[in-house]
Structures are given as structure tokens and as C-alpha cells.
Structure 1
Amino acid sequence: MKSLFFPFSLLFFLPCIVLAQTGQDSTRYDSEYLEDQFYVGLTYNLLLNKPEGITQRNLSYGLQGGFIKDIPLNARRNVALGIGIGYAVNSYYTNLGATETPNGITYAALADDIDLKRNKVETHLIEMPIAFRWRTSTARVYKFWRIYTGVKLGYVLGSRSKLVTESQKNSFTNSDVRDFQYGLTFNFGYNTFNIHAYYALNDFFNDNTSLDNGNSILAKPLRIGFIFYIL
């Protein structure tokens, strides 16, 4: 996954490159102009670095929403720092079966011949996005291009593993999901419609979580989708 980290690092510094080329502008700008925003997003969730034999099934999705405070960094106020607070729900559908036992949770690849309807891990998080924000907006231009890059910190309020077959339904709180999660973010788009990407920098599960065959579970989330900003 080092090959994925490098392009995300380039995206993180891209606004700095753009800013360096904009030069100085003698125009008078509105000193009160801000881009405080509510946001909502929808993503398709992937798990990278899955153990051999583990695959994704069904449509893994994520929903997010929150508010971002804009802190302008220049006189034109088109370069800013954004700090926010939000809430997210993410589901990951795979064939990774989790079983609760008196000795903890065990994991194994589900057999292909079972009457599986769905199997997932679901998380609920409080999130804090922090982003360097570059845009072409002014106090009087409401449709503009934007590039927002940064990090997102998340704390898992709750996580559940759920298995549903034709003959049974099993659901329990999964304490193996890592409480504190963080990763890189990249948002790019025009006006309300924007592309969103999140690449986790730490593993989805706690250290030493493994399959019943001893293989470590080092999966990392990658979420790609759309985010909408509302003034």
C-alpha cells in the first residue's frame, strides 16, 4: 500500500503548489468573508490489505455529515484552514466471519456453500476533519472550484459484526475494531458537487487480530465517493 500513500501525499501538497503560482492581487477583499459549511457525503468503502481468502461482497457504503469552521489564511480569503466536527456510519460487507466466544472473537473466511445473505462490520464514529483549503471563490462568487486536502481523525463510538443467513441471525458488539482511526483526505470539485477520498493510515482492527489460521488481519479502509458542501 506504499504505492497508494505516495500519490495521496502529492495531493496533500498540491494546493501549496497552486497557491505559489497565484501571485499577489491588489484587489480589495471582503474582510468578513468565510466559507463556514455544513457537509454531507456518501462513499463506497473498500478494505485494502485483506488476508488471503477474504473478499468483499455486497455494496459496502458510508454516510457522513457535519460542520466545518473556515479560518482564512490570506487577504483574499481563498486560502484557509478548515476544522470540523461530524458523524459517520460505515459498513464493510465481506466473507470475514466473526464469532463471539468466551475467550474472545474468532475470525475465519466463511464457506462458499453456506446460505449467506449478508455479513458485515458496521462502525459509528465521531470525526474531526482538518484540511488545508484552496478555492476560487469570493464574497460574491458562490460557484467555484475547490481543492481541500488534509487529515481526518475519528473515534469509534460503536461497532458491530452481523451475520445473516437463511437459518440464523447473529449480531454482537465487536471490541476488536480500533477505537481511534485516522487518515488522509482529498476533496476536489466545483460548487456543491465534489469528489471525496479517504485513505486510512492505521489498521481497521486492533493489533494482533488474526484469522483462525494465524494470518494477521491488517486491513485498512479506503473510502471513495462524493461530498456536498452547503453554506
Structure 2
Amino acid sequence: MKHAFLFFLFIITFSYAQENIVTKEVDSLYKEDQFYAGVTYNLLAKTPSGLNQSGFSLGFHLGFIKDMPINKSRNFAIGVGLGFSANSFNQNLLISKDNSRDFTYDILESSSTYSKNKFSSYLIEVPFEFRWRTSTPMEYKFWRIYTGFKFGYVLAQTSKYIGDLGSLKHSKNDDFNSLQYGLTLSAGYNTWNIYLYYALNPLFSKDAQLNGHNINMNAIKIGLMFYVL
């Protein structure tokens, strides 16, 4: 997560520097916004009874999108890309293992004392976007609305707990859905763009059970997205 944050800061710095570059040649076949970096606040929806989030759950998103204009004025385009995403969710769902080495799930009581309880995931993502913008060959500050769909494949995931039960850390939990997908929306002006992701499938598979019921919660990510050429 630290490396993703440092690279994110580099992208933002580069985007500001880019605004000061003067382009003398007019490119009538220009393309827009082919690199992106974003930071989100991660929420959990459709949570089981008693499950609550705590602390600040962050996501960092980096990648490249191939911009393909579809009209003569080039203000409409299709975007297809490849990126990386690192996400954490701080909450009170304890993930542990029983004697058979299977994963178990319990809600931590309010009386429990713990300093950390979270799960994290690291994904390779493929975004698809339908893009509208007010850019021209000579206008580098413009309004944009990009809406689309994003597929993600979980490369790795971890769960960590530090508290009165000791220190627990687990990875390679097959109860997490390896494929994540959802709807996306980016809208804004120039550097600053509001970003929204709504997952269409649960974070956990049907093998993850809490009190005999499936854990069907999904992710919602709200934050800022920055685009550069």
C-alpha cells in the first residue's frame, strides 16, 4: 500500500507539471487521458447484521487506458485499459481458522479490545469506459464524464487482526471471490474528478458463512481520479 501511495503522489505531481507544458503543434488526431491514478474511501454494502466499519478504509488505483475516439470532433471515445488496485477494509468481521484449517467468520463484540482488524486485496483490473469530454486540439482543461465497467482479478488478499485474541494474519483465502466486477463513473473538470465504483458481485464466495448465512456484502468506492496523457 505504501508503494502505491508514493506512485500515486508522483502521478499527481506529474499531472500538475503537465499543465505548464506548451504544445506548439496542433494535433487534429489527439487522444485524451491515457494514464490514471486515484484514491478512494472504501465502503461495504449489504453487510450482515452487526457488521460495522471502523477507521479509514483506503483504495489506491493506477493504470493505463487506450483512448479511441469514435466521432470526428473526438469528444466521444471508447476506453479500454489495464491497471492495478490495492484496497483495505477496516471492520469488525474476525477471519480465523478452525481445527480443520477452514476459515471461520465471527462478528467481534463491542466489548472486544483490538487495535487492528481488516482485510485487504490487490487486483489487476481491466476498465472499459464510454467517454464524453469538451476537449479540443488546443484545449487542455475541459469537462469530462466517463462511465463504464471494470473487471478485477484478485492477485492476493490478506486478513489481519491484532487484539486481545493475539495476532492473526491469513492469506490465500479461497473464500474471497477471485473475480470482482462493477460499474464505474468519473466526472469532473481538468485535474479533479469525482470517482465512483459500485461492485455488482460480493467480495466473498458462497463458501464464506456467518451464522449459517452467506456473506453477500459488496464494495462501494468513492474518491478522486486524476487523468494525464
TM-score normalised per structure 2 = 0.85
Q: Which residue of 1 aligns with 2:189?
A: 190
- Flag as ranges the 4+ runs of structure 1 deviating above 3 A: none
2:163 aligned partner, one-letter code: T
Distance 1:177 1:167, change over 3 A: closer
Cα deviation, 1:59-95, whole Å, max 9, x if unaligned, reads 1110010111100000001100011110000001110
Q: Which runs of 5+ in 1 are unaligned?
A: 1-28
Alignment of 1:16-165 (within 5 A): 30-101=27-98, 102-165=100-163
- 3-state SS of paired residue (2:202): coil
Asked if structure 1 preserves the Cα contact closer than 8 Å seen for 2:28 and 2:137, the reply is no
Asked if structure 1 preserves the Cα contact closer than 8 Å seen for 2:39 and 2:225, the reply is yes
Q: Which residue of 1 aligns with 2:176?
A: 177
What is the CA distance between 1:215 and its match in structure 2?
2.5
Q: Which residue of 1 aligns with 2:203?
A: 204
Cα deviation, 1:190-228, whole Å, max 9, x if unaligned, reads 0011000000001110124211x2132100100000000
CA distance in 1, matches of 2:137, 2:64: 20
Asked if structure 1 preserves the Cα contact closer than 8 Å seen for 2:32 and 2:67, the reply is yes
Asked if structure 1 preserves the Cα contact closer than 8 Å seen for 2:133 and 2:143, the reply is yes
2:60 aligned partner, one-letter code: L
Distance 1:225 1:36, change over 3 A: closer
Percent sequence identity over matched residues? 48
- 3-state SS of paired residue (2:213): coil
What is the CA distance between 1:104 and its match in structure 2?
1.1
2:194 aligned partner, one-letter code: I
CA distance in 2, matches of 1:167, 1:216: 25
- 3-state SS of paired residue (2:201): coil
Instruction: Indicate the RMSD between aligned Cα atoms, in angstroms.
Output: 1.4
Q: Structure 1 residues 35-44 or 133-142, which shifts more?
A: 35-44
Cα deviation, 1:32-81, whole Å, max 9, x if unaligned, reads 21114211100000110000011111111100101111000000011000
Asked if structure 1 preserves the Cα contact closer than 8 Å seen for 2:51 and 2:107, the reply is yes
Q: Structure 1 residues 172-181 or 69-78, which shifts more?
A: 172-181
TM-score normalised per structure 1 = 0.84
- 3-state SS of paired residue (1:74): coil
CA distance in 2, matches of 1:166, 1:62: 28
